[in-house]
Amino acid sequence: MTETTVRVAEGPALVLAGYEGEPLTSLAAYRAVGGYEQLEKARAQDPQAVIQEIIESNLRGRGGAFFPTGRKASFIPTPDKIAKPIYITVNADESEPGTFKDREIMLKVPHRLIEGCLVAAHAIQSKHVYIYIRGEYAEEYRVLQAALDEARDAGLLAGVEIVMHRGAGAYICGEETALLESLEGKRGQPRSKPPFPAISGVYAAPTLINNVESITTIPPVLAVGPAEFAQIGAPPDSTGTRLFCLSGNVARPGLYEVELGTSLRVLLELADAAPAKAVLLGGAAGSFLRPDQLDLTLSFEAAREAGVTLGSGVVIVFGEQADLVAALLRIAEFFRDESCGQCVPCRVGTVRQEEALHRLASGKASGDERAILADLTQVMRDASICGLGQTAANAVASAVENLGVFA
């Protein structure tokens, strides 16, 4: 396995704090950088107070939807309100093309993820944590399981059970409700929302679902203090740091932890990117930027204003020599292959999208392709059940509209 460059680039290290080239996989190594101190502090506090701190920090979900993490936790009923177990499910089914941040968290700072799980478990008074890990992540599973065993042996779990569950290779199972179905042993297909998992999640019980990076950011939030955390990055909404996954035509591909609000340009320079004719931001479900848009501020607000998304922190650089049409065909093929097939817009729409692109790419266009792609973009976004279908046309649409591919 080749080593991925992982570095804290700009500003304070939070998620990767203490990591300086040597993975903090042992309990001793993690303890040496202050590990599990926040857990101890949190457990001495009232659970509601911990939720309040997360709310105050304005930590937002790092899986891509940017939902306030503290508010999500506050939706979970307290045990006196409901006669059901309360679950936490960590989404470690990292499958967005170009994304490898959760992988590196699990390999480099696995105990911080476990600490985050235990703090969250205390906050919502849960005794049951599932970590749903991508099936292909064999080494990551082993490292995290070893860390978990060590934490358990050290008595850190204190009655909380953390169970790892390995996925079986479906992108759709990264969608939170499909993940729940899969976890329950069913076919991985999204559920209709509402009800939301906070009310009816795994086994129809209240469930807090968070991305690995979100959960792992909780101990640092408590470490620096929520008020201080809320000042890091691009307050008020984009607080803290994010892990960005740099790949493509860059000399130093890897994972970079930078403050939110950093310019994309800075990130590209850190990775020594080649002059780009396009940058894919947010993954296959994200969108393409033009060369004149590369000064974008990496914050939720700036991204939204530019009509793009930071998604799961993917930055793929397409240099002058890159074949954008081939990339688009590959993305379309990916979604066609990974659609679960439940709803019509995504099941058939992803096929029609790929077909239209092939016609455009091979010079067999009938002339209607642009209109077909525009319709598909709107309707997959509007009428698909889940986020997969709703974003399956994003990259293609942005390439057509923003880059002028096929113009």
Partner 1 sequence: VKITIDGVTTDVEGGTILDACRRVGIDTPTLCYGDTLTPVNVCRVCVVELEGARALVPACSRKVADGMVVHTDSPRVRTSRRLVLELLGSSVDLSTAPEALAYIERYEAKPGRFGPESLTVAQPVKVDNELYVRDYSKCILCYKCVEACGVDHQNTFAIAIAGRGFDAHISTELDVALPDSACVYCGNCVAVCPTGALMAKSEFDLREAGTWDESRQSQVDTVCPYCGVGCNLTLHVQDRGIVKVTSPDDHDVTRGNLCIKGRFGYRYVHNR
Binding site for partner 1 (CB under 8 A): 170, 187, 192, 194, 336-345, 347-352, 355-356, 359, 366, 368, 372, 375-376, 378-379, 381-385, 390
When the beta carbons of 61 and 219 are compared against partner 1, the nearer one is: 61
When the beta carbons of 342 and 394 are compared against partner 1, the nearer one is: 342
Task: Give me the least distance between CB of 30 and partner 1, in Å please.
Answer: 39
Task: Give me the least distance between CB of 136 and partner 1, in Å please.
Answer: 17
Task: Give me the least distance between CB of 297 and partner 1, in Å please.
Answer: 23
In three state form, how does the secondary structure of the chain look?
Answer: CCCCEEEECCCCCCCCCCCCCCCCCCHHHHHHCCCCHHHHHHHCCCHHHHHHHHHHHCCECCCCCCCEHHHHHHCCCCHHHCCCCCEEEEEECCCCCCCCHHHHHHHHCHHHHHHHHHHHHHHHCCCEEEEEECCCCHHHHHHHHHHHHHHHHCCCCCCCEEEEEECCCCHHHHCHHHHHHHHCCCCCCCCCCCCCCCCCCHHHCCEEEEEHHHHHHHHHHHHHCHHHHCCCEECCCEECEEEEEEEECECCCEEEEEECCCEHHHHHHHCCECCEEEEEECCCCCEEECHHHCCCECCHHHHHHCCCCCCCCEEEEEECCCCHHHHHHHHHHHHHHHCCCCCHHHHHHHHHHHHHHHHHHCCCCCCCHHHHHHHHHHHHHHHCCCHHHHHCCHHHHHHHHHHCCCC
When the beta carbons of 248 and 349 are compared against partner 1, the nearer one is: 349
Distances 286 to 96, 167, 283, 391 between C-alpha atoms, Å = 10, 23, 5, 7
Task: Give me the least distance between CB of 366 and partner 1, in Å please.
Answer: 6
Cα–Cα distance, 256 to 399 (Å, whole number): 26
Task: Give me the least distance between CB of 122 and partner 1, in Å please.
Answer: 33
When the beta carbons of 265 and 352 are compared against partner 1, the nearer one is: 352
Residue 34, token pair as written in the block? 């202050």
**Which of 242, 163, 225 minimizes the C-alpha distance to 38?**
225
Task: Give me the least distance between CB of 194 and partner 1, in Å please.
Answer: 8
Residue linked to tokens 């704090």: 17
When the beta carbons of 7 and 191 are compared against partner 1, the nearer one is: 191
When the beta carbons of 66 and 100 are compared against partner 1, the nearer one is: 66
When the beta carbons of 78 and 378 are compared against partner 1, the nearer one is: 378
Task: Give me the least distance between CB of 393 and partner 1, in Å please.
Answer: 12
Task: Give me the least distance between CB of 86 and partner 1, in Å please.
Answer: 24
Task: Give me the least distance between CB of 368 and partner 1, in Å please.
Answer: 6
Within a 10 A sphere around the Cβ of 143, how many other Cβ atoms? 17
When the beta carbons of 10 and 237 are compared against partner 1, the nearer one is: 237
Q: Phi and psi at residue 135, in whole multiples of 5°?
A: -60, -35
When the beta carbons of 170 and 276 are compared against partner 1, the nearer one is: 170
Task: Give me the least distance between CB of 385 and partner 1, in Å please.
Answer: 7
Cα–Cα distance, 67 to 192 (Å, whole number): 18
When the beta carbons of 154 and 371 are compared against partner 1, the nearer one is: 371
